[in-house]
């Protein structure tokens, strides 16, 4: 049976795409970057889904099946040894190329690959100038150099458009014999810069280590640069004082198994919900064709982009700004999740397929975990007359993936609940990015979290992309504000009335949160009315009123991330417009083709196929308590039904007493008796 159009490419399909490309470039070297599913054009896919959902159980709408396409990103290297970046679309069933583009560097730099990071490490080993600079630091005996590859950041205005990579330098204490010893506690004030084409170190940036009142470029550190730094370990066997001994287990058990069902490694069904899940190297986990009780709600949901700009004014930190989805791909950095660690309960894992620079497919296991969890009381009411209480639990189905980007971790989870709600949750954890600071000094650019360690101030700003299909694809966005009404003898004689003012978003635009007026956005289908209220059926969300980008307008950091200018963007759907900061972010100087440009078209978006972009984030001015690994910072964005149903959709959820709950005895031991 042919794979579903939203299902990931198999290893076999990936191999076909690779072989097709090689057959077209026989006399040159080809370095592959990515091979993944090219999703079908939406109009074709809409017809397919309509046929699929109208079919009888077990039937498949083969007559309307879209072609099976692979997107292949690769470099062609000719006699001049300069890579030429190409993108091709391959029909894997026909084994032929149907689209091809040679992408010049004036359009954008290809996203980085892990093998390019290895090139940087090797170039540092070969560079005599770099090795000599490291020797000047007089590292203590038993300490070894660690080079952490990083994107170069935005090119300075007027700089030559070459492909660069840079490395942040640290030293690791090897005396404890533990390869996981925390090297971020020993930062070195040196950044090597590599020309990616030459694979040579072409510049060394020597960093200032001063504090308040010192020069932005002054070199004030002593030769023994690490003498004032301190160990800061996080792996359990090295934690100072050991780990706690009084923590007792909490086990998540489901004796009858899970309530969800997974078919074809992509279709998930749970508590009236159904959707398809896929995975790609840029966005990570993506949800498609999200429905509740057969009614469409979302065509597609994904995390589109994230930028992390740093606020240290000393050069070259004005370039320290990552685009963690566009620069290298969140999916490429996804963790291989471990049973009993990252997700608890009865777990279903989803795998992906990735490629090396030879294009050979290889398994990327356990990149997504699926599980159910309890989230407290869902709804409750007690009849005070009879004393009877009815209470149900809020159950959630969680689709989660975790990425590691050098020092930081991000946990992304889509949560679907029994009341028809959809929650996007983002957790930021990991280790703050550190630089060396002279002993006894403090800084305007961050906080001293340990001896010799300055954790720089920065922001994490995310963009999530929601492609709604509220009972169909012709939707409208409105926002409502609750405003005080003036005294009026006829309409507000006692002054207690407030009005709800509704505004329709008619053209593509950027908009903002407004908690003062309780601004709530609704995505509605004007052709479908709720039988009780008479209002259009819809879903609502309240934007997170988080701080926008703080870099000055016109700065490189700001120009590269125009998507951060608003909390909400409403744009008209176009195929392949998936990325909030545009298709190419690596070394960009200006966001091009991103959501800012999409909104600037001023398309009609009322009663149209539209897209919602939610922008939110964290301004992270580090605390000492964020060291050596920061506790999770948690942000949640909620989409909830608004006159979509004719009652609380969770009213039929069983009110069941949990028979596994027990009482604690007076001395605190478990367990006296079952409830």
For tokens 């560079």, the residue is: 127
Which DSSP string do the residues of 567-594 spell out, in sequence order? SEEEEE--TT---TTBS--TT-SS-BSS
Catalytic (active site) residue 324: yes
Write down how long the chain is: 675
Element (H, E) at 48: helix 42-54
Nearest CA to 90 among 34, 33, 29, 20?
20
User: Could you give the CA distance from residue 308 to residue 324 in angstroms, rounded to a whole number?
Assistant: 8
**Spatial CA neighbour of 542 closest among 584, 574, 513:** 513
C-alpha–C-alpha distance, residues 547 and 461, integer Å: 9
* Catalytic residue flag (residue 408): yes
Query: Torsion over CA of 97, 99, 100 and 103, rounded to 10 degrees?
Result: -150
Nearest-angstrom CA–CA distance, 159 and 152: 13
Which entry of 312, 324, 438, 471 is annotated as an active-site residue?
A: 324
| CA proximity to 402, closest of 394, 393, 410, 390 | 410
Beta carbons of 481 and 519 less than 8 angstroms apart: yes
State residue 568 phi and psi, 5-degree precision.
Answer: -135, 135
End-to-end CA distance of the chain: 50
Catalytic residue among 408, 410, 445, 579: 408
Helix (H) or strand (E) holding 144: strand 143-151
Q: Which residues pair with 274 in a beta bridge?
A: 269, 291
Cis geometry, peptide bond prior to residue 163 (ω within 30 degrees of 0): no
Which residue from 332, 329, 343, 310 is spatially nearest to 621, judged by alpha carbons? 310
- Which residues are catalytically annotated? 324, 408
């Amino acid at each position: 049976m042919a794979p579903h159009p939203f299902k990931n490419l198999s290893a076999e399909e990936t191999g076909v795409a690779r072989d097709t490309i090689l057959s077209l470039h026989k006399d040159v070297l080809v370095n592959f970057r990515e091979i993944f599913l090219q999703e079908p054009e939406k109009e074709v896919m809409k017809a397919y889904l309509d046929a699929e959902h109208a079919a009888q159980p077990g039937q498949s709408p083969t007559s309307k099946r879209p072609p099976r396409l692979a997107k292949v990103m690769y470099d062609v290297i000719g006699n001049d040894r300069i890579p030429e970046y190409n993108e091709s679309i391959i029909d894997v069933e026909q084994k032929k190329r149907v689209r091809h583009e040679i992408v010049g560097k004036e359009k954008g730099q290809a996203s980085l690959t892990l093998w390019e990071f290895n090139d940087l490490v090797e170039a540092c080993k070969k560079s005599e100038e770099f090795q000599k600079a490291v020797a000047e630091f007089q590292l203590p005996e038993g300490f070894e150099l660690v080079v952490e590859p990083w994107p170069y950041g935005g090119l300075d205005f007027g700089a030559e458009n070459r492909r660069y990579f840079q490395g942040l330098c640290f030293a690791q204490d090897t005396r404890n014999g533990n390869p996981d010893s925390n090297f971020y506690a020993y930062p070195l004030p040196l950044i090597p810069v590599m020309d990616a084409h030459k694979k040579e170190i072409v510049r060394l940036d020597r960093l200032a280590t001063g504090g308040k009142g010192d020069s932005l470029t002054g070199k004030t550190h002593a030769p023994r640069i690490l003498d004032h730094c301190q160990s800061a370990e996080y792996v359990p066997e090295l934690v100072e004082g050991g780990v706690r001994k009084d923590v007792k287990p909490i086990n998540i058990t489901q004796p009858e198994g899970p309530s969800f069902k997974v078919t074809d490694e992509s279709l998930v069904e749970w508590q009236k919900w159904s959707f398809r899940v896929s995975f790609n190297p840029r966005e990570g986990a993506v949800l498609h064709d999200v429905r509740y009780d057969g009614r469409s709600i979302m065509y597609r949901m994904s995390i589109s982009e994230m930028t992390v700009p740093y606020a240290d004014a000393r050069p070259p930190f004005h370039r320290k700004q990552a685009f963690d989805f566009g620069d290298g791909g969140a999916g490429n950095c996804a963790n291989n999740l471990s049973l009993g660690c990252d997700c608890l309960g009865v777990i279903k894992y989803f795998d992906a397929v990735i490629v090396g620079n030879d294009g050979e497919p290889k398994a990327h296991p356990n990149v997504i975990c699926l599980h159910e969890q309890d989230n407290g009381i869902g709804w409750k009411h007690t009849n005070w007359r009879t004393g009877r209480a009815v209470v149900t639990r809020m159950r959630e189905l969680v689709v989660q993936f975790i990425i590691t980007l050098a020092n930081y971790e991000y946990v992304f989870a889509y949560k679907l609940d029994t009341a028809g709600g959809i929650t996007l949750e983002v957790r930021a954890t990991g280790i703050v990015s550190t630089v060396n600071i002279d002993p006894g000094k403090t800084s305007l650019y961050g906080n001293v979290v340990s001896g010799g360690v300055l954790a720089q101030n920065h922001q994490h700003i995310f963009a999530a992309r929601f492609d709604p299909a509220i009972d169909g694809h012709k939707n409208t966005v409105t926002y409502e504000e609750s405003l005080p009404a003036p005294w009026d003898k006829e309409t507000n004689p006692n002054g207690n009335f407030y009005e709800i003012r509704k505004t329709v978003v008619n053209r593509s635009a950027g908009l903002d949160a407004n908690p003062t007026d309780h601004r709530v956005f609704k995505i509605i289908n004007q052709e479908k009315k709720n039988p009780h209220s008479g209002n259009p059926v819809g879903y609502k969300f309240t934007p997170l009123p988080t701080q926008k980008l703080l870099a000055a307008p016109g700065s490189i950091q700001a120009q590269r991330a125009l998507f951060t200018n608003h909390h909400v963007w409403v744009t008209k759907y176009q195929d392949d417009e998936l990325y909030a900061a545009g298709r190419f972010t690596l070394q960009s100087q200006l966001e091009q083709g991103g959501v800012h440009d999409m909104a600037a078209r001023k398309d009609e978006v009322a009663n149209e196929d539209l897209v919602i972009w939610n922008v939110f984030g964290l301004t992270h001015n580090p605390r000492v308590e964020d060291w050596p690994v920061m506790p999770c910072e948690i942000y949640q964005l909620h989409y909830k039904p608004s006159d979509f149903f004719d009652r609380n959709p969770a009213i039929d959820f069983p009110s069941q007493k949990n028979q596994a709950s027990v009482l604690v005895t007076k001395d605190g031991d478990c367990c006296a008796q079952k409830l």
